[in-house]
Structures are given as structure tokens and as C-alpha cells.
Structure 1
Amino acid sequence: MSYEMEKCTEGEIGSYAVSAIPSKDANMRLKKLMKGLRSKFGGPKFDPHLTIVGPLSLTREDALLKFKEACQGLKAYPAQAKAVSAGNSFWQTVYVLLEPTPQVVQISDHFDAHFGNDRSTPYMPHISLLYAHLTEEEKQEAVEEVKELDDTINTMSFTIDGLELDKLTLGDETLKSWVKVAEYKLDTLY
């Protein structure tokens, strides 16, 4: 596990989220696709990730402790793309929807339990490809662009082999305030 230091005061409350990170090959493929979308539709640059839990208000110390405890004994697990879709918010402009397989859902449930998160809506596993303010027509155009850039992305199978704890500032659409606090490499598949 590695840690990055961000400027914060001991006991200061911040917003923290845990994400699953796709394997290197999937990551490269997704980054290429995301770059193509940004070149046409704009939006901030960010790394491919599957949000597992958060953002939650915690101290850095509490977030790190919960993250370390939750990571113990976890293994890499498979994920399967299901469709490319557009959402109704900046944070879900265009994304790859994943199959809610038992492994994918159990990891989210596991972190919810460790972080004391009472999820108010069903978990929708997805990897965002683009964050932007687009009209409905532009979103559909972006979904079509995904198909042109990578016509099999909606059937991609890959491995989740890393977890990451991030500190973020809610509402920061530039993502410049996002800081990776810790990462955990997952070994061997379940």
C-alpha cells in the first residue's frame, strides 16, 4: 500500500471515496477512449475508475484506517461491461455500465459496511468516460462517438486489480482538488 500526503490538519473533515481500478490493459484502452471523447466534447481529464463507496465526510485518519481494514484479504476480481450510456449529471455524462455481478456488488457492499455507509440508492457499477455539461442531443452524439472509437467497449471483460482512496472537493468540476491518498494492489483472482 502506498500513500500520498495532502495538506490537511489533523482531524480535519474531508470528502473521501474509494474506487476500483481496472487492470493495466483495460486502463490503457479506457484512457484512449476518454481522450478521444475529451478532444471532441471537452471536460476534465481523469483516470478510469469504478466508484465503490463515497464521497463520505471523514477525517483523513478515519478514512485511511477504514480503507486499510476493508482492503485486508481482498483479491482481484473480474468485471464485465454491459452497455455504454449517458446519465443525467455531470458526474455520469457518458459511462460504461458494468454487469452487477456478485463480485462487483459484494466489494461495494463490503466497503459500505466498513465505512458505515447506508446507501440510499441501489449500486450502479459504472466507469465514467466523460464528465461534461452536454445537452441530451450531445450526450447521444457522445455515446455514438464511443461506438466509433471502440466498437466493442460495451462487451469488454477485464480485471479489477487495484483499489484507491481519494480525497475530493465536492463540486470541483475541474478535478484539480482530487488527491490520491492511498492505493492497494489486489493479487490473484477470486
Structure 2
Amino acid sequence: MPGALDLSMTDMHSIWLMPAAEDAALLSAIVEDLARAFGSEVFSPHLTLVEDRPVEVEALTVRVRAIAAGIAPFAARIEGIKTGEPFFRAFYALFEAQGPILALKQRAIGSIAASSLSAFMPHVSLAYGVTDTPQRRRLSWEMDQRLAGHRVRFDRIGVVRSAQTIPIAEWEVRASVPLV
């Protein structure tokens, strides 16, 4: 198929919407605090647009530039702090699927990975793999009181070597495309 991405490469990449420096620092500090509290992994806060694609980084970066074209940095409101059973959605900040977040996801679906838009739940994880305990419920409530309504500014899209099959400590941003 003309213009199709080469899926023969074994290196896995994801596409992350990345918070601007000030919000990245705030969210990173929360991730670190929760990792200490739960004994869980530390990772860079991000909003996943596409995950686990076996694609060569340069080809994917070209596609990401096209996805980002014409979308300026923007702020999105945290709707609340939620918890769940899936490992990568155990403790997270939820955003509405609207505005630039939705536009970027729609473009990513059209260009990189066809998927169901109805299943898209934009979020920034704050802790991975933490189980339902009184401590998780208490910390979730505290974070909700602190962060619900906070607007996170996003200013770039990362092409990241990451996948569910790659250890979190080995995730690496390989390219960064600014929103302009």
C-alpha cells in the first residue's frame, strides 16, 4: 500500500503527547512520590496517542510531524483522578476526548494506527500496577482534590521506544516534534 509504514522493524515505538516543562515537572514529582508510596516504577508522564508499533523511528517521526502540523501548544483540563485494574491505568489523571487531544488522536488513527476512536480514554498515568488498597483510595482522593480542574499544557509529541513488552526503565524518547 503506498505510503504505508514499514512494520517489519522489530523496535517498538509509541506516540506520546508530552506536557510542557512546568507541568512535566509537577507530574514527574507526583509520579516519583507515588512510586515511593507504592514501591512502583518511575516513568515520564505522558498521554499516549498510539502504542506499541513495530516501526522505524525516522519513518514514524515523519508521520508525527504531519499529525502535529497546524496544532499549537494547548492546555487541557484534568477531569479527575481515577483508578482501575489495568496495569497501565491503575492510577491516572483523566482528560476529556475533545479539542486538540481528539484532533491529534483522529490524525494518528488515520496516519499510523487504525483503532476505535470510541475506545480512546485520554489520560496521564501517575502510577502503574498499583492494586486497590485503602492507601490507593486515599492517595487517589488526595490527588483528585489537588489536581481536578488543573490545566496541563501540552507542547510536543514524542516518538518513544516503548511498549508493554519493553521494561519501563528502558523506555526512551527518540524524537520530539513540537506543536506550533
* TM-score, length-scaled by structure 2: 0.84
CA distance in 2 between partners of 1:120 and 1:186 (Å):
22
Percent identity of equivalent pairs: 17
> Is the CA contact 1:78–1:103 (under 8 Å) kept in the aligned structure 2?
no
SS of the residue 1:73 aligns to: coil
**Post-superposition offset of 1:146:** 2.5
**Post-superposition offset of 1:153:** 0.6
- Is residue 2:158 matched to residue 1:164? yes
CA distance in 2 between partners of 1:52 and 1:116 (Å):
10
**Post-superposition offset of 1:124:** 0.4
> Is the CA contact 1:41–1:132 (under 8 Å) kept in the aligned structure 2?
no
Q: Deviations over 1:114-155 (max 9, x none)?
A: 1042237521010000012423545323313525xxx33111
- Kindly report which structure 2 residues correspond to 1:14-93, keeping only aligned pairs within 5 A, or say none: 14-93=11-90
Unaligned runs of 5+ in 1: 1-10
Give the equivalent residue in structure 1 for 2:173. 180
Amino acid in the other structure paired with 2:178: K
CA distance in 2 between partners of 1:138 and 1:87 (Å):
14
Give the equivalent residue in structure 1 for 2:137. 140
> Is the CA contact 1:168–1:179 (under 8 Å) kept in the aligned structure 2?
yes
Aligned-pair RMSD on alpha carbons?
A: 2.1
> Is the CA contact 2:74–2:153 (under 8 Å) kept in the aligned structure 1?
yes
Give the equivalent residue in structure 2 for 1:104. 101
* TM-score, length-scaled by structure 1: 0.80
Report the count of equivalent residues.
Answer: 173
CA distance in 2 between partners of 1:140 and 1:169 (Å):
28
Amino acid in the other structure paired with 2:39: G
**Post-superposition offset of 1:107:** 1.0
SS of the residue 1:83 aligns to: strand
Task: Could you list the structure 1 runs, at least 4 aligned residues long, displaced by more than 6 angstroms after superposition.
Answer: none
> Is the CA contact 2:14–2:163 (under 8 Å) kept in the aligned structure 1?
no
CA distance in 2 between partners of 1:88 and 1:136 (Å):
12
Q: 1:62 to 1:109 in 2, by over 3 A?
A: same
Give the equivalent residue in structure 1 for 2:10. 13
CA distance in 1 between partners of 2:97 and 2:164 (Å):
26
